[in-house]
Structure 1
Amino acid sequence: MKLLIIIGVIFLGLVTAITLAITLGGPGNPPPMSSINDPFSGVDYSDLPAPRQFTARDGAKLSFREYQVANGLPKGSVVLIHGSSASGKSMHQMAKAFAAAGYTAFALDVRGHGGSGTKGYIDYVGQLENDLEDFSSAIKPQKPATLAGFSSGGGFVLRFAGSAKQQLFSNYLLLSPFIGLDSPTSRPNSGGWVSVGVPRLIAVSALNAIGVRTFNHLPVIKFALSEEAKSFLTPQYSYALLLNFGPERDWRANIRAVRQPLFLVAGQSDEAFHADLFSQTFKAEGKDIPVTLIPGIGHIALTLDPTAIQAAISAVKSMDASLK
């Protein structure tokens, strides 16, 4: 009887702790991060292509933009995945440059962002890979096709590059990618960009470990957006979206599983990640991949600065050449 009482007390304590973590342990509201919010104010969107849609396997209409090559036949295609909180619109400058360089470019609104689904939410972990497979099947990007992702989008590209579906794309380009919270490349709170509700994250993770996914819709991370930006970007992620829009939890195994050409480009002055540690992080997992670090370039500037964009284009050209 005494043992049963002890077990009952321990169980009640665990239930109470999990309940408190879920209800009170959500993310805070980080102050706006000007280096992330401000750079896009100077971007000219007057020539932004109209959004198109494809139908995902669940019937959802998901949004993307296509940038066509003006002259001659395309050399191939590049599918661009935006960073956390953003949408395909944030990749406008880079997409235009790829089209000018002879590549058909596609800028996707990942489900949970922009014009794709409910902002901040997805139905289940793994849905984003299914969406990308559905996009590839519906639109059929011309080969050689490169999947390129920035920041959290770069982490998702790494996730896909290390998956069983990796042969859907010829090459993979990581643009200052988020690799993992425990990666050597990560700065605390991504340099001030995020606030993570750690107690809630741990509690929901523990429940998922025993098959309980009831709370996967709850927000576990918020971004350092200005009040104005919150109206058109995605201010927070649910547990499911956070887990899916990035690399696998075992990011080391994710890296080791990549078999396709892989290239990384980042700015030396990146305020979200330790850019100088990208190369050795991949080498530690047996992947001595090409890494280009651009002097004087910060996190967002990687997608806007002409020198940085040209480095991304050069990376794709190099990977394409390696396929011949």
Structure 2
Amino acid sequence: MKLAFDLRDFKIPVDRLAPQEVFRTRQKDLLSYRFYPARSENLVILYHGVGGDSRYLCSLASAITGAGFAQVVTPDFRCHGASLSASDNIAPNQLEIDLEELIIHLRMKYSVKNMTLAGHSLGGGFALRIAVSDVGQQFKRFVAIAPYLPESFHALTEDLGGWIIFDQNRDGFSVNYPEAFKTGEEKTHYSAEFIRAAVVPEDLLLRLHAGNTPLSLISGDRDEVVLGARHMEIFEGLAHPLLLAQGLNHLTVVSKPSIALSLFES
């Protein structure tokens, strides 16, 4: 299956890439993240999507810090980055536990006043999941960037840009990462357990409305994986601002962050 977007056009500005740091949770698991400093006590925790890890968020993270809006941490989900080889057959609340462990670690290491949770693609869906969970009470606001939503929300393109291929039972999926671009550091299959631990609950919209959750959302009108126009319908009245970015696709919405950057302004 051919990808609808060309990864040759996607470059990570390595001169701005923060080094990978690791920490050990109280459960003795080793997890990783990248820290982008700024002269601010605000902190943005920004999660990546499937296939890659925190590296590809470098442009957006450095733009946020460069504007002085906040410090930024880009975590690697469990089974990515330093824990790439770990099993992704995890408990339904494991990623929430990992986030809580990360917050404890960061508060011990850095000066943090207000926190924003953000994410792109599957990470955007995870940010929405946390927004309606008990863990979400620790955040001032949430930012979802081209968020991945379950099929029941009817917000996915027909072939997901050739990027995601569902397993036969449609519980797990593989990532169609071109062989020419593989380095051995990609995660190319996601178990049903991992996906269930990352995606939003079916009653997400009711919970967002009931909680009056401070949420901003952006999707590109040329996104090959998610339907940006459908996101505008789903989150109308729930997200402020709610932006359909003209001319941006699933990757350029974060690799060309001039529009997405406005969502992080204090």
TM over 0.5: yes
How far 1:200 moved relative to its partner? 6.5
Contact kept? 1:33, 1:192, Cα under 8 Å: yes
- In the alignment, is residue 38 of structure 1 matched against residue 4 of structure 2? no
Contact kept? 2:217, 2:239, Cα under 8 Å: no
- In the alignment, is residue 226 of structure 1 matched against residue 178 of structure 2? yes
For residue 251 of structure 2, the aligned residue among 300, 304, 309 is 300
**Alignment RMSD, CA only?**
2.1
How far 1:271 moved relative to its partner? 1.2
Structure 1, residues 144-185: CA drift from partner, whole Å, max 9, x if none?
A: 211110011100100000111211111100001012212132
Pair 33,200 (structure 1): closer, same or farther in 2 beyond 3 Å: closer
Question: What is the rounded CA distance, in whole Å, between the counterparts of 1:49 and 1:149 in structure 2?
Answer: 18
Pair 179,97 (structure 1): closer, same or farther in 2 beyond 3 Å: same
Q: Name the residue aligned to 2:215.
A: 262
Question: What is the rounded CA distance, in whole Å, between the counterparts of 2:170 and 2:217 in structure 1?
Answer: 33
Pair 116,159 (structure 1): closer, same or farther in 2 beyond 3 Å: same
For residue 169 of structure 1, the aligned residue among 139, 143, 146 is 139
Tell me which structure has the larger Cα radius of gyration.
Answer: 1
- In the alignment, is residue 185 of structure 1 matched against residue 185 of structure 2? no
For residue 199 of structure 1, the aligned residue among 147, 169, 173 is 169
Pair 230,250 (structure 1): closer, same or farther in 2 beyond 3 Å: farther
Amino acid at match of 1:180: P
TM-score, with structure 2 as normaliser: 0.89
How far 1:86 moved relative to its partner? 1.4
How far 1:122 moved relative to its partner? 4.3
- Equivalent pairs counted in the alignment come to 261
Partner SS, residue 98 of structure 2: helix
What is the 5 A alignment of 1:53-64? 53-64=22-33
How far 1:270 moved relative to its partner? 0.9
Contact kept? 1:266, 1:292, Cα under 8 Å: yes
Stretches of structure 1 that go unaligned for 5 or more consecutive residues are 1-30, 202-219
Q: Name the residue aligned to 1:12.
A: none
How far 1:191 moved relative to its partner? 2.9
Question: What is the rounded CA distance, in whole Å, between the counterparts of 2:124 and 2:15 in structure 1?
Answer: 27
Question: What is the rounded CA distance, in whole Å, between the counterparts of 1:169 and 1:123 in structure 2?
Answer: 24
Higher helix share: 1
Between the aligned residues of both structures, percent identity stands at 26
TM-score, with structure 1 as normaliser: 0.74
Question: What is the rounded CA distance, in whole Å, between the counterparts of 1:158 and 1:200 in structure 2?
Answer: 22
Pair 117,58 (structure 1): closer, same or farther in 2 beyond 3 Å: farther
Contact kept? 1:279, 1:289, Cα under 8 Å: no
Stretches of structure 2 that go unaligned for 5 or more consecutive residues are none
